[in-house]
Chain A
Amino acid sequence: MTPALIALRAIVLREALRFVRQRGRFIAALVRPLVWLIVFAAGFRAALGLSITPPYQTYTTYETYIVPGLCGMIVLFNGMQSSLSLVYDREMGSMRLLLTSPLPRWWLLVCRLIASTSISILQVYSFLAIAAIYGITLPWQGYLYVLPALAIAGVMLGALGLALSSLIKQLENFAGVMNFVIFPMFFLSSALYPLWKMAESSELLHDICAVNPFTHAVELIRFALYAQFNAMALVWTCLAGVILLALALWGYDPARGLVRRKG
């Protein structure tokens, strides 16, 4: 095995071990979307009527509609949690250990991304399994097709987290990220309501949702879950991913001196 792959394996394994140890985090990651699915969806079902739009071929209930959005939510939250742990690692010093490795820095950061994405995928499948038990099943191919979609969405949202973590000076500032990044991203997307529904109330909000990369990540997941392909969503998600990754790598460039802030 090459040194780069040895490091990748170790970083993924460390992240996985950390995840297994923090059982609370796993449960929280599952409870959050399940609350939406079981409690909120029940309430909204009566209020929201959904027409038949692709990828759906028949009338769908609201619960069914929001499942892909909740998968996206898991990936989004996990991506942010992982970047939170990066800020924590930086304060605790273990980030230094990572960055003094003789492997290229971009590769080390990509390893972290792959690690956090793997955890997200694990969480999404657990969620889909519970949703299936609850009665929301998908075409069997969907469970397969969603894997690459989750990987792409995971890398894009992880890169967002990575980019943010390079901008945040201290752990305390992370609450601001929660308010100003995660919530707007989640609510201004197609995760909870279809875009045409949004357009009925406000064109502006609709336009914001339409450019939100999270919307495209959710749509990519939604189509994949029904064994369909949404090229537009793929292009947007990849494009956003590349830009965010470039931003993150720039943020961690040693010439910029990110780590110096915490001497």
Chain B
Amino acid sequence: MTGLHVEKLSYRYGAKQALKQVSFGVSPGQFCALLGPNGAGKSTLFSLLTRLFTTPDGQITIAGHDLRREPRKALAKIGVVFQQSTLDLDLTVHRNLTYFAALHGLSGREAAKRIDAALDRLNMSERRHERARDLNGGHRRRTEIARCLIHDPAVLLLDEPTVGLDAATRRAITDHVHDLSENDGLTVLWATHLADEVRDTDQLVVLHHGEILANNSCAALRGNQALADFFLDLTGAEA
């Protein structure tokens, strides 16, 4: 079993149930949009998927590795872009990537080769020696996406990666990541609350109040409705 699989995942913060029996799977090479309003439980799900914290309820399998039983093998297979930027702003793009490569045990020529390839992939090569602080929001994001590719992951997790970006940049980043799933066969889980980032061919999982309301291809789910309307109807009815 490859790709990403989540089975009956539950999590609670004290009395507040953040995730209720969440189950879904994303096949290899599939772009899956996780659509949910703010507070739906997307960030909790991402924290569990990246093992920032764990829960005894449910199972997560990443590229065939059970996150509980083989956490290190599973973590080695994911590339993460968190909602909040995690670049060291005082370091150059290249240094940021070198640091990350080292955290994954890569150094020397091998790391340099992979960093070059990742920067090329995101058209960021010419900015490699700029400080992260001097980059605009779009380029910072692209740097982070390049960074999450260095260790050759099978599954990309992106938590609202376009927050705070203008429309054109948002489009460019969304296209880049769609490319990664289409051309490079990466499994992508893309959390967002913006319907216009989702394509008809994408898998769509709608999360609301910690529960999954829908899970199918976007085209099949929305039918003749605009996705934004479908989403509002679905979450509005349940709210």
Residue numbers of A with Cβ under 8 A of B are 1-4, 6-7, 9-11, 14, 17-18, 21, 92-94, 96-104, 108, 254-260, 263
Contact = CB atoms under 8 A, between A and B. Distances in A.
Q: In terms of DSSP, what is the predominant structure of the interface of chain A?
A: helix
A256 B55 CA distance: 9
Contacts of A101: 75, 103-104
Contacts of A7: 102-103, 105
Contact of A3 (B51, B85, B104): B104
B168 interface: no
Contacts of A263: 43-44, 47
Interface string B70-101: 00110110101010111010110000001110
B91 to A, nearest CB: 7
A99 B84 contact: no
A10 B53 contact: no
B54 interface: yes
B203 interface: no
A93 B86 contact: yes
Contacts of B76: 102
Contacts of A92: 84, 86
A163 B116 CA distance: 38
B50 interface: yes
30 contacts: A2-B105, A3-B105, A4-B105, A7-B102, A7-B103, A7-B105, A9-B102, A9-B107, A10-B98, A10-B102, A11-B103, A14-B88, A14-B99, A18-B90, A93-B86, A96-B50, A96-B52, A96-B82, A97-B86, A100-B51, A100-B75, A100-B78, A101-B103, A102-B75, A102-B104, A102-B105, A103-B103, A255-B54, A258-B53, A263-B44
A93 to B, nearest CB: 4
Contact of B86 (A3, A94, A259): A94
